[in-house]
């Protein structure tokens, strides 16, 4: 009986630790996403290149881009992500993959034109060699301006 109670207690502690661990992973992804927006705004292409997985894909309203093309466009100013105002964020972690959803209002300069759009941005991160890498970034424009 005592062994059963101790076993149950150990199981409960393990479950709580696993939950806490996931929470810290979720926070790590949220923090990584936030710093990514800052790097995009500041055009820190070297930092972004280290974050973006070599097979990463980027989905914009006007089409899709490879990792190299996205970095090229940011470097050259074809898209300047001026400011992403984050309104909501959620993260789901599945094994070594994390899916982050951001509801944002994005101020940007695209082809020389200043634009502001409300988006839900889907970011998919994969863990590779002990670090998280961005594998996909997709913008879905919301139909209403609202608050983002």
Q: What is the pLDDT of residue 128?
A: 95
Q: What is the pLDDT of residue 12?
A: 43
Higher pLDDT, 132 or 13: 132
The predicted-structure confidence for 11-55, as pLDDT tens digits, reads as follows 444 444 444 445 899 999 999 999 999 999 999 999 999 999 999
Residue 89 reports pLDDT greater than 90: yes
Residue 8 reports pLDDT greater than 90: no
Q: How many residues are given for the chain? A: 148
146 lies in some domain: no
Confidence category of residue 148, pLDDT binned at 50, 70, 90: low
* DSSP secondary structure of 83-133: EEEEEEEEEEEETTEEEEEEEEEEEEEETTEEEEEEEEEEEEEEEETTEEE
Section 43-71 average pLDDT: 97
83 lies in some domain: yes
Instruction: Please state the domain count of the chain.
Output: 1
What is the widest separation between alpha-carbon atoms in the chain?
73
Q: Distances from the Cα of 139 to the Cαs of 3, 43, 61, 120, 124, in angstroms?
A: 53, 19, 7, 6, 12
86 lies in some domain: yes
148 lies in some domain: no
CATH code at position 81: 3.10.450.50
Q: What is the pLDDT of residue 69?
A: 98
Q: Are 66 and 145 in contact (CB under 8 A)?
A: no
- The first and second tokens of residue 129, run together, are 């060699």
Q: What is the pLDDT of residue 141?
A: 96
Which residues form the domain of 103? 2-141
Q: Are 102 and 78 in contact (CB under 8 A)?
A: no
147 lies in some domain: no
94 lies in some domain: yes
The predicted-structure confidence for 96-111, as pLDDT tens digits, reads as follows 999 999 999 999 999 8
Confidence category of residue 9, pLDDT binned at 50, 70, 90: very low
């Amino acid at each position: 009986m005592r062994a059963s109670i101790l076993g149950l207690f150990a199981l409960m502690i393990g479950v709580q630790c696993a939950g806490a661990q996931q929470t810290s992973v979720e926070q790590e992804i949220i923090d990584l996403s936030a710093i990514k927006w800052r790097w995009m705004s500041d055009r820190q292409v070297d930092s972004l290149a280290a974050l973006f997985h070599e097979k990463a894909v980027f989905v914009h309203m006007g089409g899709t881009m490879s990792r190299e093309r996205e970095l090229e466009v940011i470097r050259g100013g074809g898209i300047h992500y001026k400011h992403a105002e984050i309104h909501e964020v959620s993260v789901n972690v599945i094994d070594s993959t994390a899916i982050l959803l951001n509801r944002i209002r994005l101020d940007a300069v695209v082809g020389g034109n200043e634009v502001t759009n409300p988006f839900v941005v889907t970011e998919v991160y994969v863990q590779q060699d002990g670090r998280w890498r961005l594998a996909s970034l997709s913008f879905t424009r919301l139909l209403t301006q609202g608050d983002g």
